[in-house]
Amino acid sequence: MVAEANQSRRTKSVAASPPAHNVLNIDNKIEQAMDLVKTHLMFAVREEVDGLRGKIFDLENHVRRLEAENSILKRTIPNDTLKQLHLKL
């Protein structure tokens, strides 16, 4: 009876620990999953950066247009009107 219990414990401990090749397979699958996550994350970041670059380009063009418009308006309005605008700001 004691011998059977000892044999049963040894069998359970052997069955409970996975073989080395299964551990390597699991490690490889984890590594592949991490690589896939990294690839998706890098793609999402690149996409976001490209979108932000486009917005920055549009905003810089808008600023240039407004500055040109402002320059023209400053040249064409009377000086006293310009002084009044500066006083209000």
**Measured between alpha carbons, how far is 64 from 66 in angstroms, rounded to an integer?**
5
Does position 70 have pLDDT exceeding 70, yes or no?
A: yes
- The pTM of this model reads 0.57
Report CA torsion sign: 47, 52, 53, 59. Answer: positive
- Mean pLDDT computed over every residue of the chain: 85
- pLDDT-based confidence at 88, cuts 50/70/90? confident
**Measured between alpha carbons, how far is 83 from 54 in angstroms, rounded to an integer?**
37
**Measured between alpha carbons, how far is 42 from 49 in angstroms, rounded to an integer?**
10
pLDDT of the residue at 86: 80
Q: Once rounded to an integer, what is the mean pLDDT over residues 39-47?
A: 98
